[in-house]
Amino acid sequence: MATPIATSQTILVVGGGISGMTAALEAAECGKQVILVEKSPTLGGRTALMYRYFPKLCHPICGLEINLRRLKGNRNVRVLTLAEVSKISGTRGNYAVTLNVAPRYINENCTACGECAKAVTKEIPNPYNYGLNQMKVAYLPHKMAYPLRYVLDPSAIGTADADAARAACKYDAIDLNMQREAVELTVGAVIWATGWKPYDAAKIQPYGYDRYPNVITSLEFERMADLHGPTGGKLLRPSDGKEAKNIAFIQCAGSRDENHLRHCSRICCMASLKQTQYVREAYGADGKSTIYYIDIRAIDRFEDFYLKVQNDPTVSFVKSKVARIAQDGNSGDLTLHGVDTEGYHRYANVHDLVVLAIGMEPAVKGVDIPAEIIADSSGFLESAPGGSIFGAGCASGPLDVNRSVQHATAAALRAIQVVNKSASTEAS
Amino acid sequence: MSEMKTAAYICQGCGISDRLNTKQMVQIAQKEGKMQIVREHAFLCNAEGVQMIRDDIEKEAVTHIMIAACSRRAKTEAFNFPTVSMARANIREGVLWSQPEIEAAVEVTQDMADDYVRMGCAEVKKMKLPEGTPNKAQNKRILVVGGGVSGLTAALESAEAGYEVLVVEKQGELGGWARQLWKRVPSKSPYTDPVDTGISELIAKVTQHSRIKVYLNSTIAQTDGAPGRFQVQIATESGATTTEEVGAIVQASGFTSYDINKLPELGGGKIQNVVDQAGLERMLVAAGGQGGALRRPSDGGEIKSVAFIQCAGQRDESGKHLPYCSGHCCNTSIKQAMYFKDANPGIDTVVMYTDLRTPGMGEDFYRSAQNKGVTFTKGKASEVVTSGNSCDIKFKDLILNEDSSIQADLVVLATGQIPNSGVNIELAEAAQGETKPISILNLTYRQGKDLPQLKHGLTDSHFICFPYETRRTGIYAAGPVRRPMDIAQAMEDATGAAMKAIQAVENASLGRAAHPRSGDLSFPIVRLEGCTQCKRCTVECPFGAIDEDEKRYPVFNESRCRRCGTCMGACPVRVISFENYSPDSVGSQIKAVDMPDEFSEKPRILVLACENDAYPAIDMAGMQRNVYSAFVRIIPVRCLGSVNTVWITDALNGGWDGVMMMGCKHGEDYQCHFVKGSELANYRMSKIDDTLKQLGLETERVASFEVAITDIARVPQLINDYVAKIQEIGMSPMKGFA
C-alpha cells in the first residue's frame, strides 16, 4: 500500500461512520486535505445498519448515498479502511501518527463481481447483522459498502477457501500474501470519531439476554425489521422462528444505572418509539407493543413523534423498571415481572419477544487513547484545551444522528482553525 | 475551447462479453453513436484499461468519453477523468445483473445493452465540461445576526479560523440571555454543580478580536445578493443605515421566553410569588447569587420552600401553548434548585415533572441534585393559588394517581423557548398572527424575507443526516432559533453553522455548488432571447436563487443555486440548461434508442429515476440479481423537479409505450433534497393528461412513483407490474411516426 502524503496541513479523521464521514467531508469541501481511517472494511458505520431513522422514519442509507457521492467526487479525502491508529505523539498542529493497517487480501482490481464469494464454502457470523445470520468468508459487507470491494476474512487464509477464491477471480484481485503493515503520518489535527458500541446486554443478569433466545437488543431488532436484513423484514422469534406480535421494549437497558452505565444514552426512548412503528408496519392493528420506561425522553420537537405513538392504540406504556424476566421453558414466551409505579401495582406480563433498548458505550472505552483526550466518568471524550485532537459524534457523548452530525461539523471547524493557523504562521 | 473529440470504451469484464455481443456494441458506437475512437477492453477498470483511456485523452486529444461498463456508482476512483466530459452506460448492474441468464432472454438483453450504448454516445456529445460560473463572488466575511451565546460563538470560531466577522446585535449589549443568568448547567466533568456562564470572557474575546466588528443597537434592514456577495444594510438605533458586504450569514437570532402571563391558572402574571426560570435568574443576579438570601417577592419574607413546575405551557396537547419540549428546562430547574440547596440545605425544593429529561451526562447532574436533597415529584400541576403569603399548588400525583397539593413560598414555572424566526414566509401576510413578526434578515428574495420554517416556527433542517441543509444557500440558522437548546448545545451548533458559512464562502469564491451537489461547477445557463417571462423558474426555484429584472426576465444568482434543475424542468420553452445536463442531453438519449415496431411485441418504457434514491435502488436491485423487465430504459436525473415535460412528449411522440417517473417521497415528511422536486413533477404530470388525450393516448402511459433507496425488491416489481399494464393496454400507436 502506498503511504498517503500528509503534512501538518492534513486533518486526520479517525472513524468512518456518519460523524467521521461528515467531519472529513465538511473539511474537504472547504479545500482541506483529509485522511479518513476506518477500522472495518467499509465506511458507513452503525447508521448503515439502521432500518429507519426517528422521527421521519426515513432510511439512513439515503443520506449515506449522498455522503458517498460527496466523497467520490472529492479528491481532498483519502480513505483507508481496515486501519486503526496505534500511536499518536506530538502537540497541537503537529502530530506523528502510526496506523496499523490490516490485510484485506483483495486489492484494487476487485470489480465486486462476486465470483469469489460463490467459490468459497465456509461461513462466519455476519457482523453487519449482529451475528443473526451467517455470511461467506469472502464477502461484501453490505450493498452500500465503500470501497465497493470484497473482503477475504483472515480465517480463510491458509484454507482451501482462499485458494478457491483466488482461482475464481479473473482479475488478479486476490492477494493472499498481503501483510499487516504500519503506516506513519504527520498531521496537523485529529478528529476522533470512533462512535459507540452497545452495552454488553448479558451483563444485565435479570433480563437473561445470555439465557433466553427471545430477548434481543434494539440493534438486533433494527436488523430484523430491515427488508434486507437476516429475516427479510419479518419480526421472527429467534427460538422458534414464529412471528412475534406481542413485543415488549425495555428502556434504560444498562443506561441510567450506576451498576452499568451512569449516563442516559439519549437515543433509546426515541428508538423504541420508532420501533413500535416497525411492529405496526408489519402487522397493522394486529401487533402489540409495550414500552416499559422510567421517563420518556422525547426531547424538543421529537415530542410530536411521542404524541403520535401515544395515540397509536397498538402501543401501551408502563412506567416501570422491569425487575426480572422469566422464560416459559416450553413456549419460549417471556414473563416480565415488576411494579407499575403509576398506581403501584405488581404485574407479570407475558410477551413473545423482548427488545432491550440497549445503552450506548463509547467505542473508545478500553482502547489506549492519547492522554490529551480526557474521558469523562463514562469514557466519553472531552478534548483538552490547547490540544488539537477533537472528539466528534458519539465518541464524545451519547448523541442521536442529527446531533452527531452537528457535533462533527463543529469538530471540522476546530481542526480547520489549527491547520489554518499553522498555514498562516508558515506563510509569514 | 478545443474541438470535440469522442471516444467510446466497451468493457468485456465481469462476464459482459460472456453474455453480450460486445463487437456489436462497438459497431453501434461507431456507426450510430458516431464515436471517433471505439475500443474494447477485457478489464477496463484495471490499471492498463484506465491508462488506455488516459493515453487517448493525452495523446489523441479526446474530450468526450463514453464508458459502457458498470454503473456510474461503481469504480469511481478508476474512472475519474476530470478534464473530459464522461457518460457511463450501465451495462453491468443495469443489464447483465438485472436480466436472467437464460436462452430466451439473450436477444432482449442484447437490445438493452445496445440501447444503453446508443444513449451514452448521444448523451456525452451533448455535454460540455463545466467551467464554473464566471460570476465568482469573492467576499469571505461572515455576518452573524445576534450577539447572544450562539452568535458570539459563531463569530469567535469563524474569526479563529482566519475569517473577518461582523456581529449585528439589536440590543445595546452583547450576551443575550446568558448575560442574565447567574450560573449555567455544567457541560464537562464533574457534572455536580452549577458553573460560571463564561459569558463575560466570551464577550471580551469577541470585542477584543482584531477580525470581529460589532454593531450594537442594530438590525438588518435589507439583505440582497448571494453567497460571496451579500449586500447588507445595517440599521442603527439612530436611524442611520450602513451598507456592508459579506459572504455568508449565520442567523443566531435566539429565542423569546414563553410569556408567563399566558399561564394565569399557574399564577403567571397574577401571583407575585410565581416567576419563570428567567425571572428567578434575575432575582439571583440582583441578590448577588445568594440563593439563601432571596426574599419572597410578595412581602420580603423568608423563602423556606420552592417548587419548580416543569413543562409549564409546553408539551401542550390543547393547542393553547407550545406543543414541543424545550429540552433544557429539566436541567435548568435542577440547577436552580441547587442554588437554594447549596446556600441553605434547609430550604425545601421540589421539582414537579411528568418525564424528567436529563440526557447524557445530565444524569449525573440529576443524581447530584438528589444527593443534595432536591425532591422530585411525578405530577402534573393544574392550578396555583395564593395561600397567605405562600402558594398552594394543586396537582395530580401521577404515582399515587390522586389529586394532591403542596405549599411553596416561591413557584418557578419552567416555560419554553419560542424561536425568533422572523416572518413565516409560507403564510399569507394576514395570517401571520396577532402580533405581526418582524423580519430578521429582510431578504430581497422573491420567496420571502426570512428563512423558511420547518415546524413550530423553528428554522431547522428537514434532514436528519444534514442538520445544516438550509433552503437558502449561504445562510445558516444556529442556536435556539433552529431548535430549542441549552448553552452547551448552542455553542456546538454555532460552531457547526460557522463551519458551513465558511464553506459557503469558499464554494462561492470557486463557483462551486454547496451540498448536496457539493463541488458541482455546472450552473444554469438561460437563453434569454427565447424566454417568455412566464416566471415559472423564479416561482418554483426551491432555494430562492432566481430574481426577476425590471423586464421580468429571470436573473440567476449562481452562488445561491444548488444545481437541482427545477428551473430547467419548469421552463415551458426550454431555454434553461446546464453545461452537462440539459433538455438536449436527456432528450437526445430518448431519441437515440432503437425503437422496435408495433408488431415486435417489444414495448419500450422510459424510466426517469432520481439519482439520489431511485437510481441507487435500481442499481442495488441489480447487485442483488433481482430481475426486471428488459423493456425499460433507465435515465438517472438530478431530481424529478428537473424533468421537463418535453422529454415526456418527445418520448410518446417517438413511439415509447410508457414513461415511469421515480422520485422521492413528498408531502409532510418529504425526502426530496431539493424540497419539492418530486412534488412538482407529480403536479406537472397531472397536467400532462390533456396532452396525452390530444395524442390519442391512454393516461396510464405516464405514471409517477415514490421510491425509497431501500426499495431494492420493490422497484423491480413496480417495473414489471407497469410493463404488464402497458402490454395489456397495447403498443403505442405513435410508433413509426417519429
DSSP per residue, A249-283: EEEEESTT-TTS-SSB-SSHHHHHHHHHHHHHHHH
* Cell 415530542, residue located: A303
DSSP B95: I
Query: From the list A66, A307, A406, which residue is nearest B496 (CB)?
Result: A406
Residues facing residue A324 across a β-bridge: A337
**Chain B partners of A344 at a C-beta cutoff of 8 Å?**
399-400
Q: Per residue in B135-150, pLDDT tens?
A: 789 999 999 999 999 9
Q: Per residue in B18-76, pLDDT tens?
A: 999 999 999 999 999 999 999 999 999 999 999 999 999 999 999 999 999 999 999 99
Mutation for A interface: B503, B521, B673, most A CBs within 10 A: B503
> DSSP letters along A347-414, please?
EEEEESEEEEEE-EEETTTTS---TTEEE-TTS-EEEPTT--EEE-GGGSS---HHHHHHHHHHHHHH
Contact B496 A29 (CB under 8 A): no
Alpha-carbon gap, residue B692 to B484, rounded angstroms = 50
**All three cell numbers of B82:** 476530470
Q: What is the mean pLDDT of residues A358-377?
A: 81
* Domains of chain A, residue spans: 10-102+180-195+363-427, 115-168, 199-360
Give the three-class secondary structure for B6: strand
Tell the burial category of A281 from Cβ atoms under 10 Å away from its Cβ (0-12, 13-18, 19+).
middle
CATH number of B1-129: 3.40.50
**All three cell numbers of B438:** 418582524
Q: How far is CA B193 from CA B106, B340, B440, in A?
A: 75, 12, 36
The sign one gets for the Cα dihedral B7, B12, B14, B20 is positive
Query: From the list A47, A342, A421, which residue is nearest B398 (CB)?
Result: A342
* Pairing mode, strands B375-387 and A134-136: unpaired
The confidence band for A2, taking pLDDT boundaries of 50, 70 and 90, is low
Pick B693 or B504 by higher pLDDT: B504
DSSP A189: E
Residue among B89, B6, B20 nearest B635 (CA): B89
Q: Provide, for chain B, the percentages of residues in helix, strand and coil under a 3-state DSSP scheme, each rounded to the nearest 5.
A: 35, 20, 45
Could you tell me the CATH superfamily of domain B142-254+420-510? FAD/NAD(P)-binding domain (3.50.50.60)
Cβ atoms B265, B507 nearer than 8 A: no
A-B contacts at Cβ under 8 angstroms: 238
Give B565's contacts (C-beta < 8 A, 6+ positions apart): B524, B578, B581, B637, B638, B639, B641, B642
The amino acid sitting at A210 is D
Task: Report the percent of chain B where pLDDT is more than 70.
Answer: 99
* Cell 429565542, residue located: B255
Cβ neighbour number for residue B123 with a 10 Å cutoff: 26
Say whether pLDDT at A194 is over 90.
yes
Q: What is the mean pLDDT of residues B680-685?
A: 90
Cβ neighbour number for residue B370 with a 10 Å cutoff: 11
Say whether pLDDT at A385 is over 80.
no
Run of H or E including B607? strand B605-610
Run of H or E including B721? helix B714-729
Q: What is the mean pLDDT of residues B285-297?
A: 85
**Chain A partners of B378 at a C-beta cutoff of 8 Å?**
341
Q: Per residue in B598-622, pLDDT tens?
A: 999 999 999 999 999 999 999 999 9
The confidence band for A427, taking pLDDT boundaries of 50, 70 and 90, is low
Contact B359 A264 (CB under 8 A): yes
Q: Provide, for chain A, the percentages of residues in helix, strand and coil under a 3-state DSSP scheme, each rounded to the nearest 5.
A: 30, 30, 45
Cis link prior to B516 (omega < 30° from 0)?
A: yes
* Pairing mode, strands B218-224 and B230-236: antiparallel
Q: Identify the closest residue of chain A to B520 by CA–CA distance.
A: A73
**The predicted structure's pLDDT at residue A383:** 76
Count of residues for chain B? 738
Contact B492 A406 (CB under 8 A): yes
* Domains of chain B, residue spans: 1-129, 142-254+420-510, 257-416
Say whether pLDDT at A125 is over 90.
yes
Say whether pLDDT at B738 is over 70.
no
**What's the pTM value of the predicted model, to 2 decimals?**
0.97
Distance to chain B for A407, nearest Cα, Å: 6
**The predicted structure's pLDDT at residue A138:** 98
Say whether pLDDT at B572 is over 90.
yes
Q: Which CATH architecture has domain B257-416?
A: 3-Layer(bba) Sandwich (3.50)
The confidence band for A428, taking pLDDT boundaries of 50, 70 and 90, is very low
Give A224's contacts (C-beta < 8 A, 6+ positions apart): A132, A216, A230, A231, A233, A234, A235, A236
State how far Cα B44 lies from the chain centre. 37
**Chain B partners of A59 at a C-beta cutoff of 8 Å?**
708-710
Say whether pLDDT at A426 is over 70.
no
Q: Per residue in B183-199, pLDDT tens?
A: 999 999 999 999 999 99
Q: Per residue in B197-248, pLDDT tens?
A: 999 999 999 999 999 999 999 999 999 999 999 999 999 988 899 999 999 9
**The predicted structure's pLDDT at residue B737:** 66
**The predicted structure's pLDDT at residue B287:** 87
The amino acid sitting at B713 is A
**All three cell numbers of B700:** 396510464
Contact B359 A421 (CB under 8 A): no
- b/e sequence B206-235, b meaning 16+ C-beta within 10 Å: beebebbebbeebbbebbbbbbbbbebebb
**Chain A partners of B361 at a C-beta cutoff of 8 Å?**
262-263, 376-378, 380, 397
Mutation for B interface: A13, A66, A140, most B CBs within 10 A: A66
Cβ atoms A141, A41 nearer than 8 A: yes
Contact A73 B612 (CB under 8 A): no
For A97, list phi and psi in degrees, rounded to 5. -120, 135
Cis link prior to A55 (omega < 30° from 0)?
A: yes
Average pLDDT score, chain B? 95
Cβ atoms B136, B508 nearer than 8 A: yes
The amino acid sitting at B262 is K
**The predicted structure's pLDDT at residue A284:** 97
Task: Report the percent of chain A where pLDDT is more than 70.
Answer: 97
State how far Cα A6 lies from the chain centre. 28
CA angle B152, B154, B157 (to 5 degrees): 105
Which of A13-27, A233-247, B112-126, B279-293 bottoms out in mean pLDDT, i.e. has the lowest?
B279-293
Alpha-carbon gap, residue B690 to B671, rounded angstroms = 29
Say whether pLDDT at A150 is over 90.
yes
Distance to chain B for A394, nearest Cα, Å: 11
Q: Identify the closest residue of chain A to B620 by CA–CA distance.
A: A143
Task: Report the percent of chain A where pLDDT is more than 90.
Answer: 88
Pick B385 or B431 by higher pLDDT: B385
Has domain A199-360 been given CATH number 3.40.50.720?
Answer: no
Residue among A62, A59, A46, A66 nearest A267 (CA): A46
Residue among A288, A132, A283, A290 nearest A217 (CA): A132
Q: Which CATH architecture has domain A10-102+180-195+363-427?
A: 3-Layer(bba) Sandwich (3.50)
Alpha-carbon gap, residue B255 to B253, rounded angstroms = 7
Alpha-carbon gap, residue B151 to B155, rounded angstroms = 6
- Equal CATH topology for A10-102+180-195+363-427 and A199-360: yes
Task: Report the percent of chain B where pLDDT is more than 90.
Answer: 91
Distance to chain A for B31, nearest Cα, Å: 30
Cβ atoms B308, B351 nearer than 8 A: yes
- B273-276 long-range CB contacts below 8 Å, 24 or more apart? B273/B297, B273/B298, B273/B386, B273/B389, B273/B390, B273/B391, B273/B409, B273/B410, B273/B411, B274/B384, B274/B391, B274/B410, B274/B411, B274/B412, B274/B413, B275/B410, B275/B411, B275/B412, B275/B413, B276/B312, B276/B412, B276/B413, B276/B414, B276/B415
Q: Per residue in A6-53, pLDDT tens?
A: 888 999 999 999 999 999 999 999 999 999 999 999 999 999 999 999
Say whether pLDDT at A126 is over 80.
yes
Q: Per residue in B423-449, pLDDT tens?
A: 999 887 667 666 778 999 999 999 999
Q: Per residue in A250-278, pLDDT tens?
A: 999 999 999 999 999 999 999 999 999 99
Contact B496 A62 (CB under 8 A): no
CA angle B169, B174, B177 (to 5 degrees): 100
Q: Identify the closest residue of chain A to B517 by CA–CA distance.
A: A70
**The predicted structure's pLDDT at residue A3:** 73
